[in-house]
Amino acid sequence: MLDPTLLRNAPEQVAAALARRGVILDTSALRALDARRKTLQSELEAARNARNEVSREIGLARKRGADTGDLQAAASALGDRIKEMEAALAAVLEAWEEWTVALPNMPLESVPDGTSGADNVVLRHWGTPPGFSFPARDHVDIGEALGILDFAAGARLAGARFVVLRGMGARLERALIQFMLDLHTSQHGYSEISPPFLANRQSLFGTGQLPKFEEDLFALRDDPYYLIPTAEVPLTNLLRGDIIDTQPQRFCAYTPCFRREAGAYGRDTRGMIRQHQFDKVELVQIVAPEDSAAALETLTGHAEQVLQGLELPYRVVALCAGDLGFSAAKTYDLEVWLPGQNQYREISSCSNFGSFQARRLQLRYRNSEGKPQLVHTLNGSALAVGRTLVALLENHQREDGRVAIPVALRPYLGGVDVLGG
């Protein structure tokens, strides 16, 4: 949520920032709504003061034994007027709330200009895409030939965009999760959390999924819960409403994630790239405002180390203003090379949200003067497990159909160095 003080006092500044994202803010309408709020609040305060004065006069008149009929009628009229103004003010405040919670975060000045993914800026590459002496196959062909990916069973059990992992496929998924968690907890200072896979509406509002993205969530029919779309939701909400003393806070968690992919109809229907249920290891940092810029670089580096350990070529991309997620002020995407598609594809987004989520969460810390101040929140996938499995199969495939296991992952597979015998 944007700073309401900034919205009221400098709406043109907010409008200019949001325009970089392609969002038009009607500053005239915003100013008119806020002026209406101020007028109603002033009139309401005057009416309440007048009613208090009439009540005082009624008390004095009764002490004198004087008739209070006219005063009581005036008090009743003022009471009716106050109720009308209270209702009008509540309607204005509700309209303000509905309007402002729908506004995305403002991009930082360091975010590149642009309107779509075509304007994103590649910052650096790591590793070299493999040069095969044979036609590269995609993960579907590789996994089905090895008997570790069963898309037909996934469709039979649940429907489209689901998969069953069998044997070494399931074991490989578990190994990837354990490798990521061990790396982040033992080397990067994250505290591992095992959160609920359901979240309430307040939690999803806090991180920005609600109300804007409700159509992409799976909701329980008769209960006020949603399946989490990412562990960002429970991890960031762990300290909701708190005033914390220590900085920074680092949390990580493995969870399954659930998304309708409502806006992705017809995209990536083959394989595991875009599914309704997928696994992720998520990182969340909660830091003081002055530390968030450096924290984003650090968090991104933590995600990069997973790819480097798995010997997967990738690139780091700075998203342009028009391609940022709703809550993000700045985002780096990690895009891994997929030989089966002959292109780089996103495997992690690492974002700095500034105080946008913290304001919704009322999550604060005490600054050097002991005063409560909003924290900054960050999160990143480190990594999306399914896409990591896809990248591993495709980048480490061999001509004979087998798949080499990176050295860093072998201890988690009992020393297995190749899939397929």
pLDDT tens digits along 213-256:
999 999 999 899 999 999 999 999 999 999 998 778 999 999 99
Owner of token pair 């990521």: 180
Question: What is residue 269's predicted lDDT score, i.e. its pLDDT?
Answer: 77
CATH of domain 26-102: 1.10.287.40
Question: What is residue 334's predicted lDDT score, i.e. its pLDDT?
Answer: 98
Fold assignment, 117-419: BirA Bifunctional Protein; domain 2 (3.30.930)
Q: What is the mean pLDDT of each run of 10 residues along the chain (421 residues)?
A: 95 97 96 96 95 93 91 94 96 94 97 97 98 96 97 96 97 98 98 97 96 93 94 97 89 97 68 94 97 98 98 98 98 98 97 98 92 96 97 98 98 96 72
Question: What is residue 368's predicted lDDT score, i.e. its pLDDT?
Answer: 84
Q: Print the SS3 string covering the chain.
A: CCCHHHHHHCHHHHHHHHHCCCCCCCHHHHHHHHHHHHHHHHHHHHHHHHHHHHHHHHHHHHHHCCCCHHHHHHHHHHHHHHHHHHHHHHHHHHHHHHHHHCCCCCCCCCCCCCCCHHHCEEEEEECCCCCCCCCCCCHHHHHHHHCCEEHHHHHHHCCCCCCEECCHHHHHHHHHHHHHHHHHHHCCCCEECCCCCEEEHHHHHHHCCCCCCHHHCCECCCCCEEECCCCHHHHHHCCCCCEECCCCEEEEEEEEEECCCCCCCCCCCCCCCCCCEEEEEEEEEEECHHHHHHHHHHHHHHHHHHHHHCCCCEEEEECCHHHCCCCCCEEEEEEEEECCCCEEEEEEEEEECCCHHHHHHCCEEECCCCCEEECEEEEEEEEEHHHHHHHHHHHCECCCCCEECCHHHHHHHCCCCEECC
CA 73 centroid distance within chain:
55
The domain ranges of the chain are 26-102, 117-419
Question: What is residue 266's predicted lDDT score, i.e. its pLDDT?
Answer: 61
The predicted-structure confidence for 365-405, as pLDDT tens digits, reads as follows 998 888 999 999 999 999 999 999 999 999 999 999 999 99
Q: 172: how many CB neighbours lie within 10 A of its CB?
A: 25
- pTM for the model stands at 0.92
What does the alpha-carbon distance between residue 357 and residue 235 come to, in Å, rounded to a whole number?
A: 12
Question: What is residue 95's predicted lDDT score, i.e. its pLDDT?
Answer: 95
| Structure-block tokens of residue 83 | 């109720």
Q: Which residues are catalytic?
A: 259, 274, 346, 349, 387
